[in-house]
Chain A
Amino acid sequence: MSAPSVSTQDWTSEVLESDKPVLVDFWAEWCGPCKMVSPIVEEIASENSEKLKVVKLNVDDNPDTAREYGIMSIPTLLVFKGGQPDKRIVGAKGKAALLSDLSDYLG
């Protein structure tokens, strides 16, 4: 299972207007640590699909959206709740650490 990609175009409908909390994985092709985090994020996504929606945003293709949310470092994971950024996780982390960071949304 692979988390769907979102773009600046469908950002509002896919992220801001989602009923469930949405975790956005900001990544890019040239970011080594992003490639380590993405499969872990996808694993968490598939195990918690009832509670959390998980999408990916390529910052190279969507720089405006990245800028709008002050993304200055990747990987960054942002959780949106009710259309607002609710939690920011910067840097590569393992599954156990991410599960702990996301416990508010997975509980």
Chain B
Amino acid sequence: MSSTPSVQLTPGGTPEPATPTSDHAELAGTTHDTIIIGSGPAGLTAAIYASRANLEPILIEGITEGGPTGGQLTLTTDVENFPGFAEGIMGPQLIQNMRDQAARFGTRFITEDVVEVDLESTPKILKTASGVTLSARSLIIATGAKPRRLEVPGEEEMWGGGVSACATCDGFFFRDKHVIVVGGGDSAMEEATFLTKFASKVTVIHRREQLRASVILQERAFKNDRIEFAFNATVAEIKGDGGLMTGVVLEDTVTGEQRELAADGLFLAIGHIPNTWLFEDVLETDDEGYLVVDEPATATNVPGVYACGDVMDHTYRQAVTAAGTGCRAAIDAERYLAGGGGVPAAAPAAEPQTATV
């Protein structure tokens, strides 16, 4: 059985097995300087800086709700635009390198989802899916974003039966088949190009007349014989049989006409939704749901809570910009702690004035 050289990871490129999740109870007893939620380039860069500043950070790497541990880069292959890697680097390898670097300076990892937070208490409290309660003087939110879904009939039923948000994971199952990629941005072009390694035909469906993707990626896709385009079209329904996808109903955005298109798979590349549901009641968000920070700092509207990466950036959303904001968040948290932030008002340090000897 041939595998696919281009996505074959080198032995060093395979992410380490996730840390066991059961022995974190001992971290529950103390108030930590800082806890980072999120394990993509933003969270890991924050961890590198925070651990080098002796903040002994804990990084919580979730898996269930917000996307895979390690973030969106773990679903990519070649990352060609991260500075310092002249020949490019595999996304999972880049994340593994960052994780190793953070671990080298003492970052401790908890592989679990956070299910509840109390940002307004001092210290800040968070609870994980297995019921461990952790507290910290400062919190860095790097929860990223997850793929947006179409929300059309058939999508839920055919999820995992042809409908996917991860071409690198699932492209393999569509050898010599016809697949659809929905979207017109960089991710859509990358996925479409990648999928031609397996599929006999890839149809890119985009709701506008022109692509949004960068010129280099557009050109690469236009030159590929196996890629076709359907512009001014949206997917109105996903059809299937017994949980396996058989095609879609397309709707022309200009004429409103509908037509059926047979296909075995559909890959979503229509953008992302920031993972903010844990914080929505307390933290300020913009019109599109991204956390609002006090640019150029990363402070949210709650003192001691910082945000970095795709959860607060709807403009750039690059690995390198995420890493950049992660660095800023760690430095902001460090300054907050150095200034005495996150300490309860009735701390012992305030008492000598009234104490009698």
Interface members, chain B 59-109 (any A CB < 8 Å): 62-64, 68-70, 74-75, 91-92
A-B contact pairs, 10 of them (CB 8 A): A29-B3, A30-B3, A32-B15, A32-B70, A33-B69, A33-B169, A59-B173, A72-B173, A91-B159, A97-B129
Residues of B within 8 A of A (CB): 1, 3-4, 7-9, 14-15, 17-18, 20-22, 62-64, 68-70, 74-75, 91-92, 111-113, 129-130, 159-162, 164, 166, 168-170, 172-174, 242-245, 265
Name the interface size band of chain A.
35 or more
A63 within 8 A of B: yes
Q: How far is the CA of A43 from the CA of B243 in the complex (A)?
A: 30
Compute how far the CA of A70 lies from the CA of B7 in the bound complex, rounded to whole angstroms.
22
Instruction: Mark A41-85 against chain B: 1 for CB-CB distance below 8 A, else 0.
Output: 001000000000000000111010010001111111000000000
Chain B residues with Cβ below 8 Å from A43 are: 20-22
Known: A35-B15, A72-B244, A76-B160. A96 touches B129 (CB 8 A): yes
- Additional pairs, 5, CB under 8 Å, beyond known A30-B3, A88-B160: A37-B63, A72-B174, A73-B173, A94-B21, A94-B63
Contact (A74, B18) CB under 8 Å given A30-B4, A90-B160, A91-B160: no
Instruction: Give chain A's interface residues, CB within 8 Å of chain B.
Output: 28-40, 43, 59-61, 63, 66, 70-76, 88, 90-97
B8 touches A29 (CB 8 A): yes
Residue A32 contacts which of B74, B161, B244 (CB distance < 8 angstroms)? B74
Cα(A76)–Cα(B168), bound, Å: 15
Q: Could you tell me if B15 and A71 are in contact, using CB atoms closer than 8 angstroms?
A: no
CA distance A75 to B62 in the complex (A): 16
- Whole-angstrom distance between the Cβ of A77 and the nearest chain B Cβ: 11
Cβ of A70 and Cβ of B1 under 8 Å apart? no
A61 lies within 8 A of B1 (CB)? yes
Closest to B76 in A: A32
Indicate if the CB atoms of B112 and A33 lie closer than 8 Å: no
Q: Is the CB of B164 within 8 A of A95?
A: no
| A35, A37, A38, A40 interface centre (most CB from chain B within 10 Å) | A35
User: Judging by beta carbons under 8 Å apart, are A31 and B14 in contact?
Assistant: no
A40 to B111, CA, bound (A): 10
Pair B161/A34 contact, Cβ less than 8 Å: no
- State whether B164 touches A72 (Cβ < 8 A): yes
- Of B9, B112, B160, B174, the most chain A CB neighbours within 10 A belong to B160
A32 close to B64 (CB less than 8 A): no
Known contacts A30-B7, A32-B15, A33-B166: does B160 contact A72 (CB below 8 Å)?
yes
Cβ of B3: which chain A residues have Cβ within 8 Å of it? 29-30, 60
CA of A97 to CA of B65 in the docked complex: distance in angstroms?
A: 10
A11 CB, min distance to chain B CBs, angstroms: 16
Most buried by A among B18, B112, B170: B18
Residues in A neighbouring B92, C-beta threshold 8 A: 32
Known: A30-B3, A30-B4. A60 touches B172 (CB 8 A): yes
Could you tell me the distance between the alpha carbons of A97 and B18 in the complex, rounded to whole angstroms? 16
B169 touches A94 (CB 8 A): no
Tell which of A71, A88, A92, A97 has the most Cβ of chain B within 10 Å: A92
- Which one, B9, B21, B113, contacts A29 given CB within 8 A? B9
